[in-house]
């Protein structure tokens, strides 16, 4: 089974102006067709999953209201995600977008999303302005632990007009230590703090790394991509690495199909081959592409 643990679905008409501006910025910076990242409905996603042979995809809600004005509230955004999952119950899995700064309201929304909407996790977006390890969020984490769901936390670089300092993998370490029963996925392997992310995932049995958003690295600096993946495997174990794409953001650089095929056919770059570094086996690729996520999400 192939699983993408990190995806977004949105429709242009309900995207906040601020978020739209960010997407326009990304498209300009990377010089690609804006429509490819603005038109990101569930039909297109599922059709591209079919092309790539992806069985299931996690769709992340987003709560950005502390930083950006939204056209829909964070609860309505979670409802949108629920709607997509209901359209494709065998293919899509929901994670709630909740900012833990909401306090009791955050806990209530967590319960609604997990118990009523059937979501399997919660997405944290610290780049909107919070440290994940703030003790005031501990009641929220206690509820996450009770409910037995997974946290996916953004780590690493974010877009313009978001804050970088909150995204260091180090802040996930504290939460992972204090809540050993919560499984936490650190998005984007913490890039550019890949070494820090690997350290956090290595010492905490409950921390995982997703390779979403690394399509530009994969395509433009394959040596760096391979090196990071190899180091993660050697340090943390292959079971800690999860396939993710951050669809639709990088599709103009690498389609889902190209990313999946790329992981399957990945070869040790010549300089590393000279050093005797072994290839990833088919078994290892299968673990990254889906077996690890199947276990983690209890599918
Ligand atoms: Zn993302």
- pTM value is 0.96
**10 CA to centre of ligand 1 in angstroms:** 12
pLDDT value of residue 36 = 86
How is 37-68 classified by DSSP, letter by letter? HH-B-HHHHHHHHHHHT--EEEEEP---TTTS
**146 CA to centre of ligand 1 in angstroms:** 25
Q: Per-residue pLDDT averaged across 103-112, rounded?
A: 98
**123 CA to centre of ligand 1 in angstroms:** 9
Q: Per-residue pLDDT averaged across 247-263, rounded?
A: 95
pLDDT value of residue 87 = 98
**76 CA to centre of ligand 1 in angstroms:** 18
**274 CA to centre of ligand 1 in angstroms:** 35
**58 CA to centre of ligand 1 in angstroms:** 11
C-alpha–C-alpha distance, residues 43 and 283, integer Å: 31
**88 CA to centre of ligand 1 in angstroms:** 20
pLDDT in tens, 55-70: 999 999 999 999 998 8
**Domain membership of residue 256 as a residue range:** 3-296
**248 CA to centre of ligand 1 in angstroms:** 9
**244 CA to centre of ligand 1 in angstroms:** 9
DSSP helix/strand/coil, 247: strand
**95 CA to centre of ligand 1 in angstroms:** 12
pLDDT in tens, 116-134: 999 999 999 999 999 999 9
**127 CA to centre of ligand 1 in angstroms:** 11
pLDDT value of residue 23 = 86
Q: Give the pair of three-digit tokens for residue 285.
A: 């690729």
CA distances from 206 to 38, 174, 258 (A): 34, 12, 30
User: Tell me, what CATH number does 185's domain have?
Assistant: 3.20.20.140
What is the rounded average pLDDT for all residues in the chain?
96
C-alpha–C-alpha distance, residues 156 and 169, integer Å: 7
Question: Which residues fall within 8 angstroms of residue 145, CB to CB, at 6 or more apart?
Answer: 179, 181, 182
Q: Give the pair of three-digit tokens for residue 142.
A: 């206690």
**276 CA to centre of ligand 1 in angstroms:** 35
Name the band, by pLDDT with cuts 50, 70 and 90, for residue 100.
Answer: very high
**273 CA to centre of ligand 1 in angstroms:** 32
pLDDT value of residue 34 = 86
**266 CA to centre of ligand 1 in angstroms:** 23
CA distances from 79 to 111, 141, 257 (A): 13, 22, 28
**119 CA to centre of ligand 1 in angstroms:** 17
Question: Which residues fall within 8 angstroms of residue 205, CB to CB, at 6 or more apart?
Answer: 180
pLDDT value of residue 15 = 85
**137 CA to centre of ligand 1 in angstroms:** 22
Are the CB atoms for 211 and 244 separated by under 8 Å? yes
Beta strands in the chain (DSSP E): 3-7, 56-60, 92-97, 121-124, 150-153, 184-186, 207-210, 241-242
**43 CA to centre of ligand 1 in angstroms:** 19
**40 CA to centre of ligand 1 in angstroms:** 13
Beta-strand relationship, 92-97 and 121-124: parallel
**How many domains is the chain partitioned into structurally?**
1
* Residue 18, pLDDT above cutoff 90: no
pLDDT in tens, 23-51: 888 888 888 888 888 889 999 999 999 99
pLDDT in tens, 68-98: 988 899 999 999 999 999 999 999 999 999 9
**188 CA to centre of ligand 1 in angstroms:** 8
């Amino acid at each position: 089974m192939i699983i993408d643990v990190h995806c977004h679905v949105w429709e242009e008409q309900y995207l906040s102006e601020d978020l739209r501006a960010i997407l326009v910025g990304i498209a300009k910076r990377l010089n690609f067709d804006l429509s490819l990242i603005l038109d990101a409905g569930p039909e297109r996603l599922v059709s591209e999953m079919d092309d790539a042979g992806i069985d299931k995809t996690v769709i992340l809600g987003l709560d950005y209201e502390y930083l950006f004005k939204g056209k829909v509230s964070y609860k309505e955004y979670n409802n949108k995600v629920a709607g997509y999952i209901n359209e494709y119950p065998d293919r899509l899995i929901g994670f709630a977008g909740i900012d833990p700064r909401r306090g009791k309201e955050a806990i209530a929304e967590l319960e609604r999303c997990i118990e009523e909407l059937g979501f399997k996790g919660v997405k944290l977006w610290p780049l909107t302005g919070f440290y994940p390890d703030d003790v005031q969020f501990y009641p929220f984490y206690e509820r996450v632990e009770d409910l037995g769901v997974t946290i996916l936390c953004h780590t690493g670089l974010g877009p313009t007009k978001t804050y970088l300092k909150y995204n260091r993998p180090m802040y996930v370490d504290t939460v992972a230590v204090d809540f050993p029963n919560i499984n936490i996925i650190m998005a984007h392997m913490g890039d550019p703090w890949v070494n820090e992310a690997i350290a956090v995932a290595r010492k905490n049995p409950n921390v995982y790394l997703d390779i979403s958003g690394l399509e530009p690295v994969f395509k433009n600096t394959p040596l760096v991509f391979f090196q990071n993946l190899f180091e993660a495997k050697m340090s943390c174990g292959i079971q800690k690495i999860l396939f993710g794409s951050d669809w639709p953001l990088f599709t103009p650089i690498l389609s889902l199909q190209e990313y999946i095929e790329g992981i399957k056919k990945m070869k040790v770059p010549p300089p590393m081959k000279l050093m005797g570094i072994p290839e990833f086996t088919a078994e290892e690729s299968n673990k990254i592409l889906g077996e690890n996520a199947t276990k983690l999400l209890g599918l």
